[in-house]
Structure 1
Amino acid sequence: MSILINKNNKVIIQGMTGKEGLFHASQMISYGTNIVGGVTPGKGGKIINDIPIFNTVEDAVYNTGCDVSAIFVPYNFASDAIMESIYSGISIIVCITEGIPISDMIRIKQFLKKKNNYLIGPNCPGIISSGESKVGIMPNSVFVKKGNVGIISRSGTLTYEAADQIIKMGYGISTAVGVGGDTIVGTNVKDILKLFLYDKETKCIVIIGEIGGESEINAVKWMNNNKIKKPIIGFIAGKTAPKGKIMGHAGAIINKNIETAQYKINIMKKNGVNIVQSPAEIGKTVHDFINGY
């Protein structure tokens, strides 16, 4: 079973007529994603690659019944694109765009508290439910086998590496979710962990975190406090990162001791997470724990 998305979801792409939107739309379609429309203001009425283009998300919802949106618009328009999807009732919003101002995300986060939407990202690779649907930029060639391992990650490339290892060990991926690397994201690690813990077919979970923020810590503490147990393998990137310097992602910056890699590792271990020291150990560790449960 997958979480968040499956083959029945109807997906639109905001910014589909741009270079990135067009390319990744074709990749999603190749994977099996049910893309029913695109949204670009001023280009409504056009048909591109047999997909209708609408001027607004509201028009797209009315005409297609879509419930998922992927956002590929420039950073200076992305916050408006997110808000438009929220207002239009899109259930799952995946924002690939990076560089959205923090002030915009604070406003969006406050608005989301009153809604039931899931916002994945911004600055994320998206979601993929193996063999069913992909919303985002994860590589089709990696996620070739459906299975019972869920992945939650703040890093796109480490998501692909972990999935590749797991599949080569003979297992498959239920869903992989890249929550995003910015300082403020919509749906956090805890939100996704809850979905995997309650998903009967996900037997093992991989959490790939990094320095900065407390998202991973909050997630595993919630799990332990609620006594919901599944084998969890964790990796935290950035053990050698200096304090106060951004490392790759806007959210990967150590502002206090609780945000260092080692502190996170210690807390996660205390809360029952099986920490690996290198991403190269993820596949074998998943194999060991699946066979041990």
Structure 2
Amino acid sequence: MPVYDTVREAVADHGPNAAVIAVPPRALRDAAFECIAYGIPLVVIVTERVPRMDAAQVVELAAREGVRVIGPNSMGLISPGKTKVGSVGGPAADTARSFVPGSTGIMSRSGGMTTEIASLLAQQGLGVSTAISIGGDPITGSSFASLLPLFEADPETEAVVTFSEPGGAMEAELVETIQKQGTGLRIVSFIAGNFMAEMPGVRFGHAGALVQRDEDSAAAKASLLRDAGVHVADALADIPALLRG
């Protein structure tokens, strides 16, 4: 495998269409800026707990330059049988068992739950078109709402599963998109963390999982999604049945 000192050299020799960044949080901004400057269209950021100002600057520059950012705090994305970017699914043998080709897209705040949902679908005879670990940090480059049109444009995707956690406005943005534009996809959502409603202001797991307002809670998000026609699973095991209708 070729090793380079700069992105410029790697781009000159190979013209990559994706980059995976795994550097210490304080080094993330410069690494991402370099990838964006040299026109790599997809940047997956594995690094977690990136300083918020740095993350915001990366996301803003990427949007201005037309670069898609997945993460920070992402394990990557996968289209089974086609390509994998990042560490999602783990070693190749484990990935092949969990991710089988199919017609269900996955968008998940949690990298581990991306694989867990794919494995559950495989056990029930369902498969995955594309699965994306969008990242668990408070500021991420892509959201459910921004990725939904890509799944809608994919002829291999008939339904989408989202995995959410308390905190943040990503579900509200998804609902707004559905209400404004509609969707031809069946959407099933699972929201973890009902217990967090009893502990306002306490952060659990990912940096983004922080309940500060009533509308940040799992129950409030579930209600909002249901009102928009999204099928909300009460338990993870309910997802396959909801996909089948």
Normalised to the residue count of structure 1, the TM-score between the two structures is 0.78
Residue aligned with 2:53, SS: helix
Q: Is the 8 A contact 1:92 1:118 kept in 2?
A: yes
Distance 1:257 1:84 in 2: 39
CA shift for structure 1 position 104: 0.7
Stretches of structure 1 lacking an aligned partner (at least 5 in a row): 1-50
Residue aligned with 2:119, SS: helix
Q: Out of 211, 220, 223, which is 1:266 matched to?
A: 223
Q: Is the 8 A contact 1:152 1:208 kept in 2?
A: yes
RMSD, aligned α-carbons? 1.3
- The residue aligned with 1:133 is 83
- The residue aligned with 1:22 is none
Distance 2:188 2:176 in 1: 15
Distance 2:189 2:21 in 1: 29
- The residue aligned with 1:79 is 29
Runs of 4+ in 1 over 4 A off after TM superposition: none
Q: What letter corresponds to residue 174 of structure 2 in structure 1?
A: A
Q: Is the 8 A contact 2:107 2:134 kept in 1?
A: yes
Q: Out of 191, 195, 200, which is 2:146 matched to?
A: 191
CA shift for structure 1 position 284: 3.1
Distance 2:105 2:175 in 1: 15
| Structure-to-structure mapping, 1:21-100, within 5 angstroms | 51-100=1-50
Q: What letter corresponds to residue 201 of structure 1 in structure 2?
A: E
Q: Is the 8 A contact 2:21 2:28 kept in 1?
A: yes
Distance 2:194 2:6 in 1: 44
CA shift for structure 1 position 259: 1.1
Deviations along 1:150-196, whole A, 9 cap, x unmatched?
00000122211110111111121111001100010111111111211
Distance 1:277 1:155 in 2: 18
Distance 1:250 1:193 in 2: 23
- The residue aligned with 1:27 is none
| Alignment: residue pair count | 238
Tell which deviates more after alignment, 277-286 or 68-77: 277-286
Q: Out of 97, 102, 105, which is 1:150 matched to?
A: 105
- The residue aligned with 1:283 is 240
Q: Is the 8 A contact 1:61 1:67 kept in 2?
A: no
Tell which deviates more after alignment, 267-276 or 222-231: 222-231
Q: Is the 8 A contact 2:59 2:69 kept in 1?
A: no
Deviations along 1:31-68, whole A, 9 cap, x unmatched?
xxxxxxxxxxxxxxxxxxxx111111111111001110
Distance 2:208 2:63 in 1: 21
